[in-house]
Amino acid sequence: MTEAQEAGKRAAGEAALQYVPEGALVGLGSGSTVKYFLLALGKKVKSGFRVQGIPTSQETARLANDLNIPLLPNEGDWKLDLAVDGADQVDPQFQLIKGGGGALLREKIVASAARQFIVIVDEAKWVPVLGMPMPIPVEVIPFGWPNTQRHIQALGWSSRLRKKNNEVFKTDEGNVILDVEVDRIDNPTILEAQLNGIPGVVENGLFVNRTSIVILGSTDGIHIKERPVF
C-alpha cells in the first residue's frame, strides 16, 4: 500500500461524511477505506451529531462501539437512509466486485436495504473492466463445498478455497469463500445470476446496479461520480 493510496482512502472516507444527514440510519461497510469514514463519523457523534448505524461485519461493529456510534440490532427490519462501503473494483458503469475482506453477504444485505449506496475507494480500485487480478468472492455453505466448487468450475472458471493463516477462512456467518477467477467480466448481471443459481452458493461479490455515488480519492483530490438516472 503506497502513501498515495492511503491518502486516497482517507480522503474518500472523510468526504462521504457530507452525505450523512442528522438523524440518519446508516449502513456501515467494512474495510480499510471505511475505517476512515467511521473515524470521521465518530468525531462528529462525539460532538453531539445524532446517527444510528448497522455494521456489515463484526470488525466494523467493534470499531463503531469503540467510537460510541449507536448501532441498530442485527435482527432489525431496517429502512436505511444510506449505506457507505468500500469496494475491491469499480467499473465506469458503477458495477463492483466486493468481498476481499469476506463480508460480502452482510454488505449486500445492507446495501439492498439502503435508499442510497455510496462507495468510497482510492483510485487504484477504478478499473475499465471488472475481473482478474481481482477474483469474485463466492460465499458457500460448508456442507458439500467441493461439490459447489465443481459446479462453478464446470462453467469454465477456476476457483480456490480461501485460506487465512493456513486455515480455511470462515465468514461471520460461518460459511466459506471460493475465490472465482474470471479474466474479464463483460456482463456482470448475467454472471451474478449464474453464480447465485448454483446450489450451495449463498451470495457472490458482484454488486450490480446498486451503487448511487462513487467517491474516488486520488493524488489530485476527490472525484465524486454520480450514477446517471435514465
* CA atoms of 104 and 176, how far apart (whole Å): 12
pLDDT (0 to 100) of residue 109: 97
Under 8 Å CB-to-CB from 171, ≥6 apart: which residues? 102, 103, 105, 139, 177
- CATH number assigned to the domain with residue range 3-127+208-219, chosen from the 4 options 3.40.190.10, 3.40.50.1360, 3.40.50.300, 3.30.70.890: 3.40.50.1360
Active-site residue numbers?
107
C-alpha closest to that of 135 among 90, 92, 88: 88
Domain limits, the chain: 3-127+208-219, 136-203
pLDDT (0 to 100) of residue 180: 98
C-alpha closest to that of 92 among 219, 220, 211, 7: 211
Bin 68: left if φ > 0, else alpha if -120 < ψ < 50, else beta: left
SS3 188: helix
Cell triple for 157: 472458471
* CA atoms of 140 and 100, how far apart (whole Å): 15
Residue 8, Cβ neighbours under 10 Å: how many? 25
pLDDT (0 to 100) of residue 229: 60
Domain range 136-203, CATH class: alpha beta
Burial (Cβ within 10 Å: 0-12, 13-18, ≥19) of residue 52: middle
Query: Mean pLDDT, consecutive 10-residue segments, the chain of 230 residues?
Result: 82 95 97 95 96 96 97 92 97 96 96 97 95 98 98 94 96 97 96 96 97 92 81
How many alpha carbons lie under 13 Å from residue 26 in its C-beta half-sphere? 30
* CA atoms of 79 and 67, how far apart (whole Å): 23
